[in-house]
Amino acid sequence: MHVSKRLEAIASLVSQGSRIADIGSDHCVVPILLVEQKKVTYAEAVENKKGPYMKMCHEIAAHGLEGVIHPVFADGIESLSKEVDTVILAGMGGRLIVSILEKHPERLRGVSSLVLDPHGDLPYVRSFLAENGFFERASLFFYDEGIAYDVMKWERNDDKAVYSELEINFGPTNLKHPPKDWLLYWEKQRQYHETMMAKNLPEEKRKEHQKAIDQIEKAIAIAKANYSL
């Protein structure tokens, strides 16, 4: 079974002894990996389309894990078992992740940990989680086959987490412990906005790019200061 760097990162953020549900599990790679690593004590793999669900069931059987990994044909977390304490949502847009989580909040009452791999709209995801009783425990920022990923682990918090605008936009963990790939990514983003500023753009667009440059420069300065500590 081929396991990409991205899927290995997702699995690495799951705590030992967790009881997981992998939403949109596709080929069930992460649950299979976690079970084979003896890292989880319970595993659900969830799909809401018949084709991927059947493929998922085939993979579970092919690895001899029937009765160990529980396949679930459901939409998002609507049928989430009370056994689950960790939900994995990976390989989907950030706004879709939020819509899944906010659709059935009652299903999250027993969930203490979220491992997320949002593809886009990360500030939107972070803002939602902070507003709904979670804080960022860890983040792994890296490139895999030329694509940048920010895989995050959020845990339930008794008090509402308060993050600055920069922390929401760039990630609190990334600012405190900036990976080299994170610094490289945002240097490239700054260069992109500077290139756009050199074009003949309407004033409103120029202001948007300048604001982005200012924010990126602040974030990089904070991160580099922490990086040198």
E strand spans, the chain: 18-23, 40-47, 69-73, 86-92, 113-118, 134-144, 147-156
Per-residue pLDDT of 115-158, as tens digits, reads 999 999 999 999 999 999 999 999 999 999 999 999 999 999 87
Q: How many CB atoms sit inside 10 A of residue 224's CB?
A: 11
Q: Rounded to whole angstroms, how far apart are CA atoms 179 and 174?
A: 7
Closest CA to 142 of 179, 186, 90: 179
Q: What percent of the chain has pLDDT over 90?
A: 90
CB 119 within 8 A of CB 92: yes
Question: Quick check: 228 pLDDT over 80?
Answer: no
The pLDDT assigned to 107 comes to 92
Interval 155-202: pLDDT, tens: 998 778 899 999 999 999 999 999 999 999 999 999 999 999 888 889
In this structure, are strands 147-156 and 134-144 parallel, antiparallel, or unpaired?
Answer: antiparallel
* Token digits of residue 109: 């009452």
- Average pLDDT of span 6-17: 97
55 Cα distance to chain centroid: 24
Q: What is the pLDDT of residue 97?
A: 97
pLDDT at residue 229, rounded to an integer: 52
Q: How crowded is residue 44: how many other Cβ atoms within 10 Å of its Cβ?
A: 23
Q: In this model, does residue 72 exceed pLDDT 60?
A: yes
Q: Give the C-alpha separation, 38 to 162, whole Å.
A: 35
State how far the Cα of 52 lies from the Cα of 213, in Å rounded to an integer. Answer: 42
Nearby residues of 38 by Cβ (< 8 Å), 6 or more positions away: none
CA dihedral over 121, 131, 152, 87, signed as positive or negative: negative
How confident is residue 226, by pLDDT bands cut at 50, 70 and 90?
confident
Q: Which residue has the higher pLDDT, 63 or 3?
A: 63
Cβ atoms within 10 Å of 198's Cβ, excluding its own: 8
Question: Which range among 13-22, 37-46, 61-70, 198-207 shows the weakest confidence by mean pLDDT?
Answer: 198-207
Helix (H) or strand (E) holding 197: helix 180-197
Q: Looking at residue 116, what DSSP letter applies?
A: E
| Mean pLDDT, range 67-79, rounded to an integer | 95
How would you classify residue 201: left for phi > 0, otherwise alpha for psi between -120 and 50, otherwise beta? beta
